Structure 1
Amino acid sequence: MAQTFTMEDLKERLQARQHKMTPQRQTVLQIFLEHPGEHLSAEDVHSILRENKSEIGLATVYRSLELLSDLGILQKMEFGDGCSRYEVNTTNPSEHHHHHLICTNCGKVIEFEDDLMDDLEADIEKKMGFHVENHQVKFYGVCKECQQA
């Protein structure tokens, strides 16, 4: 199960990787704490910052998101539309994270918690000698709302 993080938790994770919590990084991370469960693009983050009268530019947002993603603090996801989206990386290395259901009609992303991949991973390890450390599963289809429309 995913856990909830505070700004102090995220600051400790950043410092453990020899990076400082700059005011810009803190502001960007605060956006994710205020929008739990949302998959935000750099443009989404920048738009929220502008609404909040922040002076942080789009290039700084991109740099911050890339660094935080490279450090494993944010998880970067691609949903096939050419736009990277991010969320706080809540994965425990001993557990797998949630998966995503992506509506090909409206673009909505729904998180799916059940992990049905354990047997497949064990089979891969047994047959191929390959130890799976993590995985991502994305299901593409049409959401309930779009089907009803």
Structure 2
Amino acid sequence: MADSILNRCAGIGLRMTGQRKVIAMVLDQSNDHPDAEELFARAAKHDPNISLATVYRTVKTFEARGILEKLEFGDGRARYEAAGRAHHDHLIDEDSGAVIEFYDPDIEALQEKIAAKLGYELTGHRMELVGKKIKPSES
């Protein structure tokens, strides 16, 4: 992957220890939005000597250097995803905590229209929807 977290770290000259490489690899392989504890559990499978403190320090460093973006969905856990990805929004499943990424051009256009109506030009935004999965009716 040309734009992997590991490659991005190398590209900015960030010193990469073995444990940082493991954390970067785990992040690259993640299809979700893990928090530090989840990253620790996954990284420990590759390096049993890694500590939770190392994971916290590493994600903080990656975030400060623009490699990771910290996401807070109101559940008390900071979650992470690679920074600089194409714009998308999030839908959080209230029951499972799953985070579903989506992009909708109609929503984007409406946000621009609202900002313009209020006399603003959007320079960025975050949208997070929270909901419960609709269960099919039982027949």
Give the shorter-chain TM-score range.
0.7 to 0.9
Secondary structure, counterpart of 1:124 in structure 2: helix
Secondary structure, counterpart of 1:133 in structure 2: coil
Matching residue of 2:43: 49
- Number of residue pairs the alignment of both structures matches: 136
Q: Deviation of residue 62 (structure 1)? A: 0.5
Secondary structure, counterpart of 1:48 in structure 2: helix
Q: Which runs of no fewer than 5 residues in structure 2 stay unpaired?
A: none
User: Could you tell me the TM-score, scaled by structure 1's length?
Assistant: 0.76
1:11 corresponds, among 9, 15, 25, to: 9
Matching residue of 1:74: 68
Contact 2:67–2:83 at 8 Å: present in 1 too? yes
Tell me the distance in 2 between the aligned counterparts of 1:133 and 1:57: 38
Q: Deviation of residue 56 (structure 1)? A: 1.3
Contact 1:5–1:33 at 8 Å: present in 2 too? no
Is residue 117 from structure 1 mapped to residue 112 from structure 2 by the alignment? no
Is residue 128 from structure 1 mapped to residue 115 from structure 2 by the alignment? no
Choose 1 or 2 for highest CA Rg: 2
Q: Deviation of residue 118 (structure 1)? A: 3.6
Judged with a 3 Å threshold, the aligned counterparts in structure 2 of structure 1 residues 82 and 103 are, in CA distance, closer, same or farther, namely same
Tell me the distance in 2 between the aligned counterparts of 1:4 and 1:113: 23
Residue identity (%): 30
Tell me the distance in 1 between the aligned counterparts of 2:79 and 2:2: 19
Is residue 142 from structure 1 mapped to residue 116 from structure 2 by the alignment? no
Is residue 34 from structure 1 mapped to residue 29 from structure 2 by the alignment? yes
User: Could you tell me the TM-score, scaled by structure 2's length?
Assistant: 0.81
Tell me the distance in 1 between the aligned counterparts of 2:47 and 2:15: 24
AA matched with 1:121:
E
Secondary structure, counterpart of 1:82 in structure 2: coil
Tell me the distance in 1 between the aligned counterparts of 2:90 and 2:129: 6
Matches within 5 A, 1:19-30: 19-30=14-25
